[in-house]
């Protein structure tokens, strides 16, 4: 009972969390800037990390906040680079299949296409903006895919599962996963072309 009372007394109050976030905000921004070299991206990362800390760990003792925040910040930076890698992979594979090439339903583009670098350190802001707009169109197009095609596509190209893992999750054969992926990629490439997107 005494241990519980001491722990409750040590829990962070709203004012303490606010003071902690105000204290570390500038350092966190610099850390994110060093990692991603993009001001807007760094701001988004820091805001996301602060929100996660507040939403998930506001009941933790004040002394635990610095380490928790660092872990959250590093994970958020990692997620940023993962999203960049995924976007690069998606636009690359859709570009490869958007040129009118005929492929088997058994063809899995992820097995032959190498993703671009997962760092955006040298990316032109105009290219980043264009890539973001293309991603918005891709996300809209994904919602229009049949369920199984969408599942296979997301498991392979977002969750980065291999064919066998995706087949296990979906409860189907590896060949079916490849078929669903191939059809999804072709359908997405066609939808993008119809929207005037040149990959």
Domain coverage including residue 68: 2-81
| Residue 143 shares a structural domain with residue 181 | yes
Higher pLDDT, 9 or 141: 141
Are 147 and 71 part of one and the same domain?
no
Residue at 199 is within a domain: no
CATH number at residue 41: 1.10.1740
Over the stretch 81-116, which tens digit does the pLDDT of each residue have? 877 776 666 666 666 654 444 455 665 555 544 444
Q: Are 51 and 99 in contact (CB under 8 A)?
A: no
Q: Which span out of 12-21, 64-73, 114-123 was modeled with the highest average pLDDT?
A: 64-73
User: Looking at the 3D structure of the chain, how many domains does it have?
Assistant: 2
């Amino acid at each position: 009972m005494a241990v519980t009372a001491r722990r409750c007394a040590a829990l962070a109050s709203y004012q303490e969390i606010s003071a902690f976030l105000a204290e570390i905000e500038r350092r966190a921004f610099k850390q994110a800037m060093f990692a991603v070299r993009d001001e807007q991206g760094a701001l988004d990362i820091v805001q996301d990390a602060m929100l996660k800390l507040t939403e998930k760990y506001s009941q933790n003792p004040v002394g635990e906040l610095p380490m928790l925040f660092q872990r959250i910040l590093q994970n958020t930076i990692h997620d940023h680079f993962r999203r960049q890698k995924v976007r690069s992979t998606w636009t690359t594979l859709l570009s490869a299949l958007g040129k009118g090439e005929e492929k088997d339903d058994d063809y899995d583009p992820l097995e032959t296409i190498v993703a671009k670098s997962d760092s955006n350190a040298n990316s032109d802001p105009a290219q980043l903006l264009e890539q973001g707009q293309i991603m918005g169109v891709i996300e809209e197009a994904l919602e229009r895919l049949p369920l199984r095609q969408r599942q296979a596509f997301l498991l392979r190209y977002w969750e980065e599962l291999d064919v066998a893992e995706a087949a296990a999750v979906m409860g189907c054969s590896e060949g079916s996963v490849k078929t669903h992926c191939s059809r999804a990629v072709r359908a997405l490439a066609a939808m993008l072309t119809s929207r005037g997107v040149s990959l």
